[in-house]
Structure 1
């Protein structure tokens, strides 16, 4: 595995905690999300041509995504719009990381 990918997985683990703990209090940690999106953008370029990715990385991204989705169900309508904005940004980046590799495959 690429050393930078290993570093990113460690950073994702740390940022996941920085995001999930406040989310459980219905708080968005904007700084942590900004870091997450930077890491995801980097992953997009690093993994563009990869057919296999680290399970731990996928699990961390999935955990964050599902926590946002779950917590969005327990907030006011105005707060839900904010949560859904972050969920949408994450969904787009996940498609860019994982979807493009699949779309470029010949059937």
Structure 2
């Protein structure tokens, strides 16, 4: 992914990556009916930036490790929101430690 930083009035792109095949970010979405049409609204969940990402920007996506993909995509209701937040923070820090610019 790319993140932009303004340096001396000009925007500089930084390629943020890791050795992993994918960088997966947690997101949420909601379908919204407007008249006869359905639209999907979504957001990427962000958090305070860590490691190399923090050198470029003050926030970063809440990254997911591959072992959490199924749990995150599960359509079931959250049993313990605090546990889910802890899961996001832990996995995000794990992935952030592998990121370079």
Same fold at TM > 0.5: no
Per residue, is there more helix in 1 or in 2? Answer: 1
Larger Rg: 2
TM-score (norm 1): 0.30
Per residue, is there more strand in 1 or in 2? Answer: 2
TM-score (norm 2): 0.32
* Structure having greater relative contact order (Cα 8 Å, sep ≥ 6): 1
